[in-house]
Structure 1
Amino acid sequence: MGRWRTTGRALLRVAVVWVVSTLTMMLLAGLLPDFRLTSADGAALTRVALTAAWGAGAFGLLSALVWPLVVRAFLLVPALVLGLLVFFLNGSLLLVALHLIPTGQGTANPETAVIVAAVMSAVASATSTALAVRDDDAYRHRLSRLADRRRRRRGLAAGPLPPGLVFLQLDGVGEQVLRHAVATGLMPTVATWLMGTHRLTPWRTDWSSQTGASQLGILHGTTFDVPAFRWYEKESGEVMVSNRPASAVELQRRAVERTGDGGLLTVDGASRGNLFSGGAEQVALVLTAAARRGRRNRSRAGYFAYFLDPANAVRTAGSFVAEVGRELTQSTRARLRKEQPRVPRGGLYPFIRAFATVVERDVVVAAVLGDLLAGRTAVYADLVAYDEVAHHSGPRGRDAEQVLRRLDRSLALIAGAVRHAPRPYRIVLLSDHGQSPGETFESAFGLTLKDLVRAGCGLPVPRRARRTRSGAEARYAVRVALHRPVGEGEERRPEPDSDPVVLASGNLGLISFPGIEGRLTREVIDRRHPALLATLANHPGIGFLLVRSEEHGAVVLGPGGAEVPISQLADDEGPLKGFGPGAADAVRRTDTFPHAADIMVNSRYDPATGEVHAFEEQIGSHGGLGGEQSRPFLISPLDLTAPVPDGEDLIGAEQVHHVLRRWLREGQGPQVPVGTDVLAGPENSPSPRQAEGPFPVAGGAAQDKIG
């Protein structure tokens, strides 16, 4: 009886979608002059309706049967190109469907067919989704059927499987930002976890508080010799950039060579949206896989499941356009209100933001859902949306808060899918670094760090400072998705004996002198450029410098002639006063890196306001020491062992890696977050106010889907 009821409901949904699609086609035929469902001499309404029903039915059938084959044929096409190609392929299917109408009355020119197909796909998808959400049993049955199919395809055992782990990285979200978002109701899903099933553990980054170092450490177990987001290597004359594909591949190679291990995800793992693969074979939008080519390129296969449904591309495209409009509106409002601090947000940035907050999010979340239904042992996914927006709008700005709200919905969607996976899963939520607010160095003092260095060296200073390109991950992810060459020309290869190479990584600056082997000592720098170190150390926007010394090995210089050997360096004293615990050890560790710059420069930090001065065009920055950028978080299920014993600090991405490895080995019972089923309505979800815990916030669990 239950099977007949389920079949009847499915047939009813098909009929409703068909009727809605028919009405949509009739409406479009009345609105668009180049789309007709009648002959030249017209036809009765019933004849028009019959023609529309034939066309809608044929289009739906073609989409269901032909579309998966078309997408598979275009699997080697870059993700964004495939997304655009969807509209033209959809239009072609509609033209074929019109030719299949027995009366032969359906006509449309190719341009109009693209529009009609897009609208019909969106309407059909919305109708089907609305019906499925109202029918929880049908939706659950569909997910269970997909899970069983993928389980059989992968040859998984029929009996109970040990729990898997899903690591979800919220790029750039600091511990304090997360606590604020939970307390104010921006992230109800996370709030529900923290009140019943998960614990929150803050951790500290190295001096280089950025994704390149942190994610390399988390996925591959080492952050050694990654002094910044970008740095100059004298022996090769190359500038390494963490999110440049060639550099990322080399960093991963070095990490594997140093640790002797392939990475966190080598055993049945999947890597989604990351800089590094972690040793996973299944990858999507992963930077180190960007150079792969060929029919078996798994980085292309990662988004096949998402574009398998043409409605996904239509929905994502609509959200993409809406996000571009949202950014234009928000940036215009900030400019009219003369908000400060503020950085330029024109050019390609609205499209880069839309890619990070819509396209990458949708593809990565869809890939994770596929991994869950396939029963993979470990999945690590990076959602970069907040980091990209916070760089330009500020870490606590309204724009960034809206992104956090939408990310919480994605977390709810993933948590809901866990219930239908062929194995139990534990969800671990973490970040790689935070962000510190503040006016840019150039805006505050009228010159760039490069200008200041040139002035200290007695070199001419250009009238207008050259802008430094943002280090946001999404900027390179866009170019990777387009298969555009990356890295040639952003930082030119310096010539030997040329001017100093000045690079910026948030509020961390690196100064190197090409053509001189090894790290220059303070004494050599003083002989070559007597005013440079004093100019830098005494500038009001500079916090401290790290430089080698022939006498002390290495020293930290600060304002007023302060000079402290790193062996005597202490937290919250001397040049490091106000930078917080762990600063001295972070500086000492970086000094051991072979590719530390001749002069390492950290901007000033104001403990009262938490502000730093980025050497890039970012009002929310990370990369150095100072404030929330060095304090990410780790949220883990209570049935996993505590990351560190009570009273101890979790320090560095390498230690986080070892914690995650330990959890992969633990075979405790399943953990499904409470109150995060995306099928349940808000009225059926427990309110966080009804639970006991340290995070009393308003609102229930997120019940939204991606859109």
Structure 2
Amino acid sequence: MPRWKAFGGALFRVLAVWLMSSLTLLLLAALLPDFRLQSGSGDSLTRTALTAALGAGAFGLLGAVVWPVLVRALLLVPALVLGLLVFFLNGSLLLLALDLLPAGSGRAAPQTAVIVAAAMSAASSATSGFLAVRNDEAYHRRLVRLAGRRRTRRARPRPDTPGTVFLQLDGLGHDLLREATRGDRPLMPTVARWTGTSHRLTPWRTDWSSQTGASQLALLHGSNEDLPAFRWYEKDTGRLVVSNRPTGAAELQRRAVERTGDGGLLTQDGASRGNLFSGGADQVALVMSVAARRGRHNRSRAGYFAYFSDPANATRTAVSFVAEVVREVVQSLRTRCRRELPRVRRGGLYPVIRAFATVVERDVVVAAVMGDLLAGRTAVYADLVAYDEVAHHSGPAHRDTHRVLRSLDRAVALIARAAAHAPRPYRIVLLSDHGQSHGPTFRRRYGLSLGALVRAGCGLPVRRRADRTPSGAEAREAARAALHRPEEPVGDAPGAAGPPERDGDTTHPLVLASGNLGLVSFPDVPGRITREELDRRHPALLGTLTDHPGIGFVLVRSAEHGPVVLGPAGAEHRLDTGRVLGSDPLAPFGPGAAAAVRRTARFPHAADLMINSSYDPATGAVHAFEEQIGSHGGLGGAQSHPFLLWPAELTPPSPDGAPLTGAEAVHRVLRRWLREADGPQLPLEEATNEPSGR
């Protein structure tokens, strides 16, 4: 494009945005009683319009000059507080712009200035977006602005090899994705267009611990060894480890790096966005494993500041945030009025946490990924947690999740459009870390919690009113990290029954929940308690658990037979030998269940008892030990079957057609795809020899 034509187009867009901002000022001055653009004696329409134009111009110039300085000065402010503070700062800039007008023509009350400034930012953003649609260069500049990037003096070299973007749609199972991409009007039209044309879809099977901590640690760092659940008690250190907390995530990442001797999937010019772990990336934003750092070494929150430094971004996200809170309240009331079952309580702070996951975190992560694309980074891994958060409380296939899936599809489309303007070609891989299984909670279905059942089996007093076990979804801890809130003490941890209680010299069992997987530890017993010792201490406990209709099976270590899976009516599956007594308690959970349980049984930090809820193969229902009607964390149903959607030009995940089992196997596939971008694809023989499972 000729330089004069580009300059003319840019000038036209600036004037159009200026005009729209001026008209917005005039309209608001006519509507709001505490805002005026005339002097006390009154002005002509022409003079008022000129005042509006001067005010809009001054406001725009102040925003362009002052905002970068203000954002740098606010680096120590909690990220979500910054999002709210943007409105007040924006209003202050408007008041300053009005003070610069001649003869005191403009006046506004402080609270009105906040509203006017937000409306002007929204109007200018909408205008620039509309004008950029028909101009590739202008659209590229708009993408840069949306991504919150600042032009650097040192340009990165333009690579010829393609980059790779891994987008994790947290909690979306394979079968639900297929449903969302079917029909004439699919819920996810962008993904539907990819499926069967440019991309290929396949399921994979998780480990026993079907949750983000275990899956993503292996996906990014190649190993989830000795990670038995979402949360667990370690007898050797006497502490509770929770995988979505900053300290827990940092420790798990350290162990994985030490075990593999490798930094992770993203060590070569990579970026990690919205994840629990960094993957070895140098560029991180909203990453839990580095969120506990303080000072200049913590770059995880940089994504918030880059995004909210643009008042238009803050305005758009804030409006969507409020709308999402209202939507959740309405949907919750509708569910209660219709007496839909199963359901869980959705009051308290949950509407705010949901809005954080579905709006704030989504917007910031998508903007960060777009910035990575425009910067030409080699590998990007990002996690979008919106669906997982809503499905926990509404149900995996409930209509409340439909809008979330549409929103995620729009996010994928926006990232794909940004990739078209990147300095290098990109391959976009969609994947999930687990699915979700539906069903009423254990407490709702049977009237008592798992902790109460264990106490009853041990002959301990049980409270008449069953304890509620709150949800421990990822968005809750992400919101706490964004607000600089300290981690909750052990006794307040979602899914925990509290710190170990003592009765004289005896310590009561500690019961933890991880979806429909329960863990029982006896802190006063060194190492893992044996079945024989447990029968001597609490002779009724194992029978109480295995004969309960809500319990599918119990894993315990036997001094004589090694790890044993116990089921109802005395059924046993001895994992070391494969011998089954009675009806196999693992049979309802399908092929691969025995191998998954056997692997977990050898973990040093596996609990004394590992309890999986019952599972109905006909309906796919499980019973979470937390307050979730869409759950994951154990075996049973869709939770164990996430998906992998990859570009057709890449080699298949498993060229020989063998099932892809375990997140560590998927990590090897992702590494292979990154290698393929650097040169010729692997020979088929070498790819075939790569193991697809354990």
- Superposition TM-score, scaled by structure 2 size: 0.93
Match in the other structure for 1:83: 83
Match in the other structure for 1:704: none
- Would you say 1:578 and 2:570 are equivalent positions? no
The answer to whether the Cα contact below 8 Å between 2:249 and 2:276 also exists between their aligned partners in 1 is yes
Q: Deviations over 1:272-299 (max 9, x none)?
A: 0000111112111110111222235322
1:144 CA drift (Å): 9.0
Q: Secondary structure at the match of 2:195?
A: helix
Q: Secondary structure at the match of 1:556?
A: strand
Counterpart-to-counterpart distance in 2, 1:111 and 1:478:
27
Pairing of 1:194-209 with structure 2 (within 5 A): 194-209=195-210
From the superposition, tell whether residues 144 and 524 of structure 1 become closer, same or farther in structure 2 (CA, over 3 Å): closer
Match in the other structure for 1:485: 486
1:301 CA drift (Å): 2.3
Match in the other structure for 1:698: none
Match in the other structure for 2:175: 176
Match in the other structure for 1:62: 62
Pick which of 99-108 and 492-501 moved more: 492-501
From the superposition, tell whether residues 125 and 570 of structure 1 become closer, same or farther in structure 2 (CA, over 3 Å): farther
Matched AA of 1:177: L
Match in the other structure for 2:533: 524
Matched AA of 2:534: I
Matched AA of 2:164: L
The answer to whether the Cα contact below 8 Å between 1:171 and 1:384 also exists between their aligned partners in 2 is yes
Paired residues in the alignment total 669
1:134 CA drift (Å): 3.8
1:2 CA drift (Å): 3.4
Q: Deviations over 1:97-122 (max 9, x none)?
A: 00111232111222221111111111
Matched AA of 1:114: V
The answer to whether the Cα contact below 8 Å between 1:51 and 1:103 also exists between their aligned partners in 2 is no
Match in the other structure for 2:686: none
Q: Secondary structure at the match of 2:535?
A: helix
Counterpart-to-counterpart distance in 2, 1:554 and 1:97:
73
Counterpart-to-counterpart distance in 1, 2:27 and 2:335:
40
Counterpart-to-counterpart distance in 2, 1:429 and 1:347:
33
Counterpart-to-counterpart distance in 2, 1:488 and 1:143:
42
Counterpart-to-counterpart distance in 2, 1:163 and 1:425:
5
The answer to whether the Cα contact below 8 Å between 2:146 and 2:313 also exists between their aligned partners in 1 is no
Match in the other structure for 1:24: 24
Counterpart-to-counterpart distance in 2, 1:569 and 1:341:
37
The answer to whether the Cα contact below 8 Å between 2:144 and 2:371 also exists between their aligned partners in 1 is no
Counterpart-to-counterpart distance in 2, 1:144 and 1:290:
26
The answer to whether the Cα contact below 8 Å between 1:640 and 1:668 also exists between their aligned partners in 2 is no
Counterpart-to-counterpart distance in 2, 1:318 and 1:543:
45
Q: What is the root-mean-square deviation in Å for CA atoms of aligned residues? A: 2.1
Match in the other structure for 1:676: none
- Would you say 1:591 and 2:601 are equivalent positions? yes
The answer to whether the Cα contact below 8 Å between 1:271 and 1:283 also exists between their aligned partners in 2 is yes
Q: Secondary structure at the match of 1:240?
A: strand
1:307 CA drift (Å): 2.0
Q: Deviations over 1:180-231 (max 9, x none)?
A: 1011411111111123211112111110000000000001111111100011
Match in the other structure for 2:236: 235
Match in the other structure for 2:631: 621
Higher relative contact order (CA 8 A, sep 6+): 1
The answer to whether the Cα contact below 8 Å between 2:434 and 2:639 also exists between their aligned partners in 1 is yes
Match in the other structure for 1:655: 665
Q: Deviations over 1:555-601 (max 9, x none)?
A: 11101111221134489961012211210000100000011111110
Counterpart-to-counterpart distance in 2, 1:402 and 1:200:
23
Q: Secondary structure at the match of 1:204?
A: coil
From the superposition, tell whether residues 585 and 286 of structure 1 become closer, same or farther in structure 2 (CA, over 3 Å): same
Counterpart-to-counterpart distance in 1, 2:440 and 2:142:
51
Q: Secondary structure at the match of 1:578?
A: helix
Q: Secondary structure at the match of 2:588?
A: coil
Match in the other structure for 2:692: none
Pairing of 1:259-274 with structure 2 (within 5 A): 259-274=260-275
Pairing of 1:278-293 with structure 2 (within 5 A): 278-293=279-294
Pick which of 291-300 and 551-560 moved more: 291-300
From the superposition, tell whether residues 179 and 394 of structure 1 become closer, same or farther in structure 2 (CA, over 3 Å): same
The answer to whether the Cα contact below 8 Å between 1:453 and 1:532 also exists between their aligned partners in 2 is yes
Counterpart-to-counterpart distance in 2, 1:573 and 1:306:
57
Matched AA of 1:657: H
Match in the other structure for 2:383: 382
Match in the other structure for 1:600: 610
Match in the other structure for 1:101: 101
Pairing of 1:470-509 with structure 2 (within 5 A): 470-489=471-490, 490-491=492-493, 492-494=498-500, 497-509=506-518
Pick which of 420-429 and 571-580 moved more: 571-580
Match in the other structure for 1:681: none
Matched AA of 2:623: H
Q: Deviations over 1:291-334 (max 9, x none)?
A: 22223532232333322321000000000000001101111100
1:17 CA drift (Å): 1.7
From the superposition, tell whether residues 150 and 163 of structure 1 become closer, same or farther in structure 2 (CA, over 3 Å): farther
Counterpart-to-counterpart distance in 1, 2:98 and 2:609:
69
Match in the other structure for 2:454: 453
From the superposition, tell whether residues 249 and 666 of structure 1 become closer, same or farther in structure 2 (CA, over 3 Å): same
- Would you say 1:320 and 2:330 are equivalent positions? no
Matched AA of 1:313: A
Match in the other structure for 1:164: 163
The answer to whether the Cα contact below 8 Å between 2:143 and 2:370 also exists between their aligned partners in 1 is no
Q: Deviations over 1:605-653 (max 9, x none)?
A: 0000000000011000000000000001111111111111232011111
Match in the other structure for 1:121: 121
Match in the other structure for 1:677: none
Counterpart-to-counterpart distance in 1, 2:261 and 2:613:
36
Match in the other structure for 2:656: 646
Match in the other structure for 1:634: 644
Counterpart-to-counterpart distance in 1, 2:33 and 2:212:
52
Match in the other structure for 1:353: 354
From the superposition, tell whether residues 478 and 141 of structure 1 become closer, same or farther in structure 2 (CA, over 3 Å): closer
Counterpart-to-counterpart distance in 2, 1:287 and 1:199:
31
From the superposition, tell whether residues 155 and 600 of structure 1 become closer, same or farther in structure 2 (CA, over 3 Å): same
The answer to whether the Cα contact below 8 Å between 2:163 and 2:677 also exists between their aligned partners in 1 is no
From the superposition, tell whether residues 583 and 196 of structure 1 become closer, same or farther in structure 2 (CA, over 3 Å): same
1:10 CA drift (Å): 2.1
Counterpart-to-counterpart distance in 2, 1:318 and 1:432:
30
Counterpart-to-counterpart distance in 2, 1:670 and 1:282:
27
The answer to whether the Cα contact below 8 Å between 1:151 and 1:422 also exists between their aligned partners in 2 is no
From the superposition, tell whether residues 101 and 141 of structure 1 become closer, same or farther in structure 2 (CA, over 3 Å): closer
Counterpart-to-counterpart distance in 1, 2:234 and 2:140:
54
Counterpart-to-counterpart distance in 1, 2:294 and 2:126:
36
Match in the other structure for 1:560: 569
Stretches of structure 1 lacking an aligned partner (at least 5 in a row)? 672-707
From the superposition, tell whether residues 194 and 345 of structure 1 become closer, same or farther in structure 2 (CA, over 3 Å): same
From the superposition, tell whether residues 318 and 39 of structure 1 become closer, same or farther in structure 2 (CA, over 3 Å): same
1:76 CA drift (Å): 3.3
Match in the other structure for 1:546: 555
Matched AA of 1:435: Q
Match in the other structure for 1:701: none
1:668 CA drift (Å): 6.5
Match in the other structure for 1:250: 251
Matched AA of 2:627: E
Match in the other structure for 2:688: none
Counterpart-to-counterpart distance in 1, 2:348 and 2:422:
43
Counterpart-to-counterpart distance in 2, 1:367 and 1:515:
47
Q: Deviations over 1:117-167 (max 9, x none)?
A: 1111111111221221244453247669999x9897555335x42111111
The answer to whether the Cα contact below 8 Å between 1:495 and 1:514 also exists between their aligned partners in 2 is no
1:360 CA drift (Å): 0.1
1:36 CA drift (Å): 1.8
Counterpart-to-counterpart distance in 2, 1:383 and 1:145:
21
Pick which of 630-639 and 493-502 moved more: 493-502
